Amino acid sequence: MASILTTAEELHDALIARRYDDGGPVRLLDVRWRLDRPDGRPDHRSGHIPGAQYVALDEDLADHHAPASEGRHPLPSVEKLQAAARRWGISRGDTVVVYDDAKNTASARAWWLLRFAGFADVRLLDGALRAWTDAGYDFEKGDAETPAPGTVDLSYGALPSLALDEVAAFAEDGLLLDARAAERYRGETEPIDPRAGHIPGAVSAPTIDNVGEDGRFRSPDELRTRFRMLGAEDGVSVGVYCGSGVTAAHQAVALSLAGFEPRVFPGSWSQWSNHPELPVATGPDPR
């Protein structure tokens, strides 16, 4: 697997050279998105890393024509993702760097989705936009210049994943991590989805604990220790879900840094909770 993270300094040097020494030409994606402010275009136009193309998570990285039973952010068709990637100027052999302004909790979706679609070299700007700001580098305002269309070909299945009908059995035999906030896992609150609680057998593992106050990921050793304490023993398969498949990707980044090969459940709690025939657990314990 290619590098997962890049520093602001490494990205700055690569933008000057127009490529990474250990990769290819740089394609930079700004994936600013939040539940309370899903349209990140105004923030992008007010200042972004030079050359970054804006990526609309709701439009480019999800399919919103699916029924509610598919979840809030079902995967886009591979044809839709490929068309978007070509619009961003991506061709095979490029190095794609993604970032947001929320500790990479949104941009990790682009990282996982592109790698799931077979694109080898996708990296997260460690520390997200704050790292670029703290380094004192310049910003660009307005819309980035439209790049020449890329030629990348994508195909899903390059990373392991979980379908809805596989999740219950996986939770019995493997370690299924719930990346949402602990109060949502316990079922004390549910602001979005139709039922509160968690998938029976899942273990609470809030994704925000994977990073420090500066938004940078903890060291691989620290992450490995964290996940082992949650039950990620040798030989145990690890899966992850969140609310709608966005921050589950952030957890997948942390697991990958720690040396695991996680299986992401893209439909996540939003899909599970929309199926009334499926059981729900509440409280602090997995079952």
Please check whether residues 196 and 253 belong to one and the same domain. Answer: yes
pLDDT, mean of residues 194-203 = 98
Residue 107 has pLDDT above 80, yes or no: yes
Phi, psi of 190 (to 5 degrees): -150, 95
- State residue 35's pLDDT score: 82
- When divided into structural domains, the chain yields a total of 2
Phi, psi of 167 (to 5 degrees): -70, -45
Task: Tell me what the pLDDT averaged over the chain comes to.
Answer: 96
- Is residue 40 in a domain? yes
Catalytic residue numbers read 242
Phi, psi of 47 (to 5 degrees): 165, 120
Give a three-class secondary structure readout of the chain: CCCCEECHHHHHHHHHHCECCCCCEEEEEECCCECCECCCHHHHHHCECCCCEECCHHHHCCCCCCCHHHCCCCCCCHHHHHHHHHHCCCCCCCEEEEECCCCCCCHHHHHHHHHHCCCCCEEEECCHHHHHHHCCCCCECCCCCCCCCCCCCCCCCCCCECCHHHHHHHHHHCEEEECCCHHHHHCCCCCCCCCCCECCCCEECCHHHHECCCCCECCHHHHHHHHHHCCCCCCCCEEEECCCCCHHHHHHHHHHHCCCCCEECCCHHHHHCCCCCCCCECCCCCC
- State residue 66's pLDDT score: 72
Please check whether residues 96 and 16 belong to one and the same domain. Answer: yes
**Residue 82: CATH number of its domain:** 3.40.250.10
**What proportion of the chain, given as a percentage, has pLDDT over 90?**
93
pLDDT, mean of residues 34-46 = 91
pLDDT, mean of residues 88-109 = 97
Least confident of 59-68, 96-105, 150-159: 59-68
Structural domain containing residue 198: 164-272
- State residue 29's pLDDT score: 98
Instruction: Tell me the per-residue pLDDT of 141-182, one tens digit each, with 9 for 90 and over.
Output: 999 899 999 999 999 999 999 999 999 999 999 999 999 999
Asked whether 123 and 27 are in contact (CB, 8 A), the reply is no
pLDDT, mean of residues 184-201 = 97
Please check whether residues 98 and 217 belong to one and the same domain. Answer: no
Phi, psi of 109 (to 5 degrees): -60, -45
Residue 1 has pLDDT above 60, yes or no: no
Please check whether residues 128 and 14 belong to one and the same domain. Answer: yes
Looking up tokens 């145990």, which residue turns up? 236
- Is residue 157 in a domain? no
Asked whether 129 and 49 are in contact (CB, 8 A), the reply is yes
Please check whether residues 121 and 191 belong to one and the same domain. Answer: no
- State residue 2's pLDDT score: 59
Residue 20 has pLDDT above 60, yes or no: yes
Residue 203: how many CB atoms within 10 A of its CB?
18
Instruction: Tell me the per-residue pLDDT of 218-261, one tens digit each, with 9 for 90 and over.
Output: 999 999 999 999 999 988 999 999 999 999 999 999 999 999 99
Instruction: Tell me the per-residue pLDDT of 2-15, one tens digit each, with 9 for 90 and over.
Output: 599 999 999 999 99
